[in-house]
Amino acid sequence: MKYTAERNIQILIYLLKEHGIKKVIASPGALNISLVASISQDPFFEIYSSVDERSAAYIACGLAAESGEPVVLSCTGATASRNYLPGLTEAFYRKLPVLAVTATPPLGWIGHNIPQVIDRTASLRDTVKLSVEIPEVYDEESEWTCSTRINKAILELKRNGGGPVHINLVTTYNNNFDVNEIKPVNVISRILDKDNFPSLENKKVCIFVGAHKKWSQELTEIVDGFCERYNAAVLCDHTSNYCGKYKIMASLVTSQELYVAPCTRMDVLVHIGDISGAYLRLFPKEVWRVNPDGEIRDTFRTLRFVFDMEEEIFFKKYIELSDKNKADNTYYNEWISEYNFLKDKISDLPFSNIWIAQQTVDYLPVNSVIHFGILNSLRSWNFFEKNNSILGYANTGGFGIDGCVSSLIGASLADPNKLYFGVVGDLAFFYDMNSLGNRHVGKNIRLMVINNGRGVEFRNYGHRAYQFGDHADKYIAAAGHYGNQSQKLIKDYSENLGFEYLSAKNKDEFMKVIEKFTTHQITEKPILLEVFTNYNDESEALKIMYNLRKSSSGVTKKIIRNVISDKGIQILKKIIK
């Protein structure tokens, strides 16, 4: 048995077999030779020939309807795929699982008057449920893209009642058919509440919570019950909003540059919530995503199952499946031990967003709400724990700086008797400063602006722009705009709009105003606290937090990376493989 050397086509064949899809209607052509010649030598597949693609699509409809199984269509380039449209329309309205695989030359050829090259990048709305482009594979990144897209396409065939799906498969006309065995790729499966659930017994389990809406008491108790039975921990950042017994603020543990904590490796990571700005370095063997959207979202690149259901259903089911009432807390204690060790190692930090977070977090009033600017502010505060009664939010959905203050104001309108805090950088503030003039701004707002005179993210230790030094300020970090750390600009602006203005330029000044800024009482005016920091101090503070613990292997890897370029490391990886 010989397969094509084209890796993207190998991956399609492998995943068709893993998902149990064997029926194929093949039409003649040159562009689909790599696929058809490969599967025709594999006894797993049940292949039928049809010269007319229009007829082939209808044959697929009949076969899918009668057998109850998905059916694959394969055709060449040019207008062959256009002839699938009537049959795919039929399949769409009858919800028949027909997978149309159209072969295409490299996508860059489109629009250059090259014979037989047509544009299939857009589909008619009522012909397929989903259309994906599968480019050639040339590295690990493109292989991951290829495998996740094909998994998604295959799973869509039966999702929400089923229906046709389109894969536009690039071929490079490779004539090598000497591959004896296809290297496996990750297989993703979707599970509904009526399906059999895979076992979690004897597995090392963690829950990761991305940005999450306010939790109900019921969901918190259910998750705590799950953790009790499976010796699990719940990894969070300030936007996770879980406040149960098994909470771990994981950023401090996972951000160590020269040390990888053993607890960051687990058998199963249960992923709930949405986009997180925490950038946790975790190493799960498998990820089980639980979300009622049922979408394939492979954040950690080891996605195995997508549980298309509400979180309560998932955790209740596994509580029922467990044969234990209570497990020990050894895994949770591993995380706590790592966190406490690192927390105790934090020495005197420079005056920075991180130091400010360290000092302020315990002053925040209970039952208040805090909004963070994305990246630097959120990361700085994620190193420290806040009171569980305080909800946290950030604009991690679109992940832009353009609406941080507006989101804070919008949230504050929901409850005039609750305090709403915000922490943003100067660029984020000035981008959204017009929102302070809104006549609905209430007395319950407390806004902290960390003014370092630039997008300090780009001057921070470890950022790819850091290598450019002061030159990065001109066009990357956008330094010098908006008054260039003017002592009066924000002061005059905010006071003229009815805010009480506070400021601090060093640690002593900050400690003198922090109690007033965080007072538990609703004040006569909203409060804006402007804190002037230095970008070098910001970078140094981050470096300290990233290097609280080191291992010999971590130091060795850094030395090797400093000696060998990234390109050289990639070459070594290929040699080792």
Q: What is the CATH number of the domain that holds 41?
A: 3.40.50.970
Residues 268, 412 within the same domain? no
pTM above 0.75, yes or no: yes
pLDDT single digits (tens) 365-398: 999 999 999 989 999 999 999 999 999 999 999 9
Side-chain half-sphere exposure of 380, counting CA atoms within 13 A: 32
Predicted local confidence at residue 575, as pLDDT: 56
pLDDT of residue 574: 60
Give residue 568's pLDDT: 65
Q: State the Cα–Cα distance between residues 263 and 249, nearest whole angstrom.
A: 13
Cβ-based burial of 248 (10 A; exposed 0-12, middle 13-18, buried ≥19): buried
Choose one of 276, 311, 345: the last residue of a domain: 345
DSSP-assigned letter for residue 518: T
The average confidence (pLDDT) of the chain is 95
Residue 12 confidence (pLDDT) = 98
Domain that holds residue 246: 205-345
Query: Which among 286, 319, 345 is the end of a domain?
Result: 345
Q: Is the pLDDT of residue 573 over 70?
A: no
Residue 576 has pLDDT above 60, yes or no: no
- What is the per-residue pLDDT for 445? 98
- In-domain check, residue 520: yes
Are residues 38 and 105 located together in one domain of the fold? yes
Residue 13 lies in a domain: yes
pLDDT for 508: 98
Structure tokens belonging to residue 9: 């086509």
pLDDT for residue 546: 97
| 197 belongs to a structural domain | no
**Confidence at 567, pLDDT banded by 50, 70, 90:** low
Of 124 and 44, which is predicted with more confidence? 44
**Cα–Cα distance measured from residue 396 to residue 263, given in angstroms and rounded to the nearest whole number:** 26
- pLDDT per position as a tens digit, 478-527: 999 999 999 999 999 999 999 999 999 999 999 999 999 999 999 999 99
Q: Which residue did the predictor score with more confidence, 68 or 328?
A: 68
251, 390: one domain: no
| Neighbour count for residue 441 (Cβ, 10 Å) | 21
Please tell me whether residues 111 and 133 are part of one structural domain.
yes
Clarify whether residues 274 and 332 are in a common domain. yes
Question: Are 507 and 420 in a shared domain?
Answer: yes
> Which pLDDT does position 555 carry in this prediction?
74
Q: 279 and 317 share a domain?
A: yes
Q: Which two tokens stand for residue 356?
A: 């400010």
Model confidence at 559, pLDDT cuts 50, 70, 90, reads confident
pLDDT one-digit tens code per residue, 191-218: 999 999 999 999 999 999 999 999 999 9
pLDDT confidence band for 551 (50 / 70 / 90): confident
Give me the CATH number covering residue 321: 3.40.50.1220
Asked if the structure places residue 43 within a domain, the reply is yes
C-alpha distances in angstroms, 308 versus 293, 423, 576? 6, 35, 39
> Do 395 and 514 lie in a common domain?
yes
Give me the pLDDT at residue 565, please. 63
Query: Is there a contact between 554 and 257 (Cβ–Cβ < 8 Å)?
Result: yes
Is 192 within a domain? no
Give domain status of residue 196, yes or no: no
Residue 58 pLDDT exceeds 70: yes
- 175 and 209 assigned to the same domain: no
Taking only the tens place, the pLDDT of each residue in 265-317 is: 999 999 999 999 999 999 999 999 999 999 999 999 999 999 999 999 999 99
- Which among 189, 6, 166 is positioned nearest to 72, based on CA atoms? 166
Q: Is 194 a domain residue?
A: no
**Which are the contacts of 221, defined by CB distance < 8 A and separation ≥ 6?**
244
Q: Are residues 551 and 541 in the same domain?
A: no
Residue 246 sits in the same domain as residue 152: no
Q: How far is CA 341 from CA 141, 208, 245, 336, 346, in A?
A: 35, 21, 20, 8, 9
Asked, for residue 199, whether it belongs to a domain, the answer is: no
Please check the confidence at residue 537 and state whether its pLDDT lies above 70: yes
Per-residue model confidence as pLDDT tens digits over 212-241: 999 999 999 999 999 999 999 999 999 999
CA-to-CA distance for 64 and 95, rounded, in angstroms? 10
3-class DSSP assignment, residue 348: coil
Q: Residues 43-68, buried b or exposed e (16+ Cβ, 10 A)?
A: eebeeeebeebbebbbbbbebbbeee
Mean pLDDT, residues 420-424? 98
What's the pLDDT score for residue 553? 77
- Give me the number of domains the chain comprises: 4
Q: Could you tell me what percent of the chain has a pLDDT over 70?
A: 97
- Predicted confidence at residue 124, as pLDDT, reads 85
Q: Which residues contact 568 (CB under 8 A, 6 or more apart)?
A: none
Helical ranges in 46-157 per DSSP H:
53-67, 85-94, 140-156
Task: Assess whether 332 and 310 both reside in one domain.
Answer: yes
Q: What is the pLDDT of residues 436-481, one digit of tens each?
A: 999 999 999 999 999 999 999 999 998 999 999 999 999 999 999 9
Q: What is the pLDDT of residue 333?
A: 96
**What are the φ/ψ torsions at residue 36 (nearest 5 degrees)?**
-65, -40
Point out which residues pair with 422 in neighbouring strands. Answer: 371, 447
pLDDT value at 563 more than 90? no
DSSP 108: G
Nearest alpha-carbon partner for 258 in 563, 569, 550, 567: 550
Q: According to the model, what pLDDT value does residue 84 have?
A: 97
